[in-house]
Chains A and B, each alone.
Chain A
Amino acid sequence: MKRGTTARGTTVFLKFIMATTGLVFIGYLLLHMYGNLMVFGGQEAFDNYAHHLRTFGEPMLPYGGLLWIVRIVLIASIIGHLYAALTLWNRAKGARTTKYAVKKAAAASLGSKTMRWGGVAILAFVIWHLIHFTIVKPAINAEFAANDIVASPYTMVVASFQLWWMVLLYVIAMLAVGLHLSHGIFSAQQTLGWTQSRASYVRAKAIGHAVALLIVVGFLLPPLAILFRIIGD
């Protein structure tokens, strides 16, 4: 048998990068979702939670230390996920340069078919989301003062999601995330070799759909509750 070759750099290795970084995102999304749901506890609870995220681990960590650790892990994961995705996308394009005149997709789910462009759309949304709630915090809703928005995360969130078109934007983005996860979570398990039997394969698909649904619903509850004035007034 031929020696001297390595598993590193192979297409399957790139898939391991996709899968592990993807699982980092799932973990982060679940924590983020938990934080968002604190909005149902009222202004004080939500603002305290946001403050505690920054003082977490003090004095062992500096102010905002935990957030920066999380951010660095996320940035590294995005770079890895994107690098592997683009490399594999490019390979796939090169593997069939003459297209079929007629080609049916018999087994592909909507989620699996939209992984690549859906991923690009999610990246665009994440950039907007960071500008919206972290970097710029623009005062889009004229009913709220810019000072109040910067001072209280609760006010910032309420001001944003009282606007129907902003909620619509986030609903569309969350559906895109849900579609991406419905295939991605299953795909990560398959890639990591956790689905070596029929039963575990079916279970992996079910886990993928369930977690995707949980994340979509969990993230959409606060904006919709604010839009319909259940909270925030």
Chain B
Amino acid sequence: MTTTTHEAEVAAAPREEGLMNLTLKIWRQNGPRDNGRLVTFKVKDISPDMSFLEMLDVLNEQLQAEGTEPIAFDSDCREGICGMCGLMISGEAHGPEKTTTCQLHMRSFKDGETITIEPWKADPFPVIKDLVVDRGSFDRIIQAGGFISANTGAAPKAEAILVPKENADRAFVAAECIGCGACVAACPNASGMLFMGAKITHLGELPQGQPERDARVVSMVNQHDAEGFGGCTNIGECSHACPKGIPQDVISTLNKDLRTALKRGR
């Protein structure tokens, strides 16, 4: 079989069921100082089984072949647990499903659809390039108080400190936060309260979190404000966008903790 006939066979083969052609409007920004703009691209024969990031990989290979610079986007584990990926997809953080961008599949889209892809937009998350943002502000909030000061050493026995089931469960729900930043991206005020509330609730529900409870909330909220995040207006966009489904009540716990700290003179 010659190469020519092989190519002819491929061209003649019927198109696989469900493949999609898409129009992508993607935010391109050369660097932090560039203004950025939406650029339109076309991709063909996208399988519904691909993840959203694999679809972008296809586009990038196409761009590389054309000699255009590929689109910069973040990803790491691609299994929804690291919090590295995150895109605003047609106006929704992580797209139309309750999951991370890497776990979003192309079956959530239709053939011929136009998809707008933007980075998280919030001044505390400056764009580094294209779809990549710097979420160092989250790290600094955690550094301000999202930890317990414990001496390290051999792991203590699991039953040494007993935790009631309800507290353990609530701490676990809050601890699921992967710090992706979707809450800030979805919030009309670009507030980081859900992220912060998750950490404060996680540690606040556990005995180990008690000694530093007042100092923690005051430090973290001050850092949050210093980073330039907005205030919370209890609209609920954050929880809706959260791939881990962190509920609104963690923000109430944050508020209660700050009120308690205030009463105790902080």
CB of A1, distance to nearest CB on chain B (Å): 5
Q: Is A112 an interface residue (CB 8 A)?
A: yes
Q: Is the CB of B247 within 8 A of A198?
A: yes
Interface residues of B in 228-248 (CB under 8 A from A): 228-237, 239-241, 247-248
| Interface status of B259 (Cβ within 8 A of chain A) | yes
On whether A96 and B230 interact (CB within 8 A), knowing A1-B216, A2-B145, A190-B255, the answer reads yes
One digit per residue, 1 when the CB lies within 8 angstroms of any chain B CB and 0 when it does not, for chain A 1-36 equals 111011110111111100000000000000000000
B113 close to A (CB within 8 Å): no
Q: How far is the CA of A151 from the CA of B233 in the complex (A)?
A: 45
Partner of B91, one of A1, A96, A100: A100
Q: Does B20 contact A (CB under 8 A)?
A: no
A92-B91 contact given A100-B121, A191-B255, CB 8 Å threshold: no
Q: Which of B8-16, B57-65, B218-226 contacts A (4 or more CB under 8 A)?
A: B218-226
Q: A88-B231, A101-B25 are in contact. Are A201 and B266 (CB under 8 A)?
A: no
Query: Complex formed: what's the CA distance from A92 to B261 in Å?
Result: 25
Kindly state the separation between the CA atoms of A141 and B20 in the bound complex, as whole angstroms: 68
> Could you tell me if A12 and B221 are in contact, using CB atoms closer than 8 angstroms?
yes
Judge if A41 is at the interface, Cβ distance under 8 Å.
no
A108 — which chain B residues lie within 8 A by C-beta? 188, 235-237
B121 touches A96 (CB 8 A): yes
CB B223 to nearest CB in A, in angstroms, measures 8
Chain A residues, CB < 8 A from B25: 101
Find out whether the CB atom of A193 lies under 8 angstroms from the CB atom of B231: no
Q: Which residues of B contact A10 (CB under 8 A)?
A: 218, 221-222, 225, 258
The reply to whether the CB of B212 lies closer than 8 angstroms to some CB of chain A is yes
Tell me the total A-B contact number using a CB cutoff of 8 A: 172
Contacts A91-B231, A190-B251, A196-B253 given; indicate if A11 touches B215 (C-beta within 8 A): no
B45 near A: Cβ within 8 Å? no
Chain B residues within 8 Å of A12, by CB: 221, 231-232, 254-255, 258
Q: How large is the interface on A (under 10, 10 to 19, 20 to 34, 35 or more residues)?
A: 35 or more
Q: Which of A13, A94, A109, A113 contacts B258 (CB 8 A)?
A: A13
Please tell me if the beta carbons of A107 and B231 are within 8 angstroms of each other in the complex. Answer: no
The answer to whether A11 and B118 touch (CB under 8 A), given A95-B189, A196-B253, is no
Kindly report which residue of chain A lies nearest to residue B201, judged by CB atoms: A196
A99 CB to closest chain B CB, in angstroms?
7
**Partner pick for A196 among B124, B222, B229, B252, CB 8 A cutoff:** B252
Chain A's closest residue to B228 (CB) is: A95
Contacts of A195 in B (CB 8 A): 248-249, 252
Give the number of chain B interface residues (Cβ < 8 Å).
Answer: 60
Contacts A7-B221, A195-B252: A115 and B190 contacting too (C-beta < 8 A)? no
Residues of chain B within 8 A of A104, CB atoms compared: 90-92
A16 contacts which chain B residues (CB < 8 A)? 255, 259, 262
Whether A192 sits at the interface, judged by CB under 8 Å, is: yes
Interface of A (DSSP majority class): loop
Given A1-B149, A13-B258, A191-B255 in contact, is the A92-B188 Cβ separation under 8 Å?
Answer: yes
Closest to B145 in A: A1
Report if A102-B228 is in contact (Cβ < 8 Å); known contacts: A112-B235, A193-B259: no
CB-defined contacts of B228 to chain A, threshold 8 Å: 94-95
CB <8 Å contact, B124 and A7: no
Q: Is B112 an interface residue (CB 8 A)?
A: no
**Interface check A194, CB cutoff 8 A:** yes
> Residue of B at shortest CB range from A8?
B262
Residue of B nearest to A186 (CB): B234
Residues of chain A within 8 A (CB-CB) of B36 are: 98
**A13: B residues at CB distance < 8 A:** 258, 262
Residue pair A15, B237 in contact (C-beta under 8 Å)? no
A187 within 8 A of B: yes
What are 9 A-B pairs at a CB distance below 8 A? A1-B149, A5-B266, A7-B258, A7-B261, A16-B259, A91-B230, A92-B231, A94-B230, A106-B237
Interface residues of B (CB under 8 A from A): 25, 27, 36, 38, 88, 90-92, 116, 118, 121-124, 144-145, 149, 186, 188-191, 212, 215-219, 221-222, 224-225, 228-237, 239-241, 247-249, 251-259, 261-262, 266
- The 6 A-B pairs at the shortest CB distance, nearest first, are namely A193-B256, A11-B231, A95-B230, A95-B190, A104-B91, A92-B189
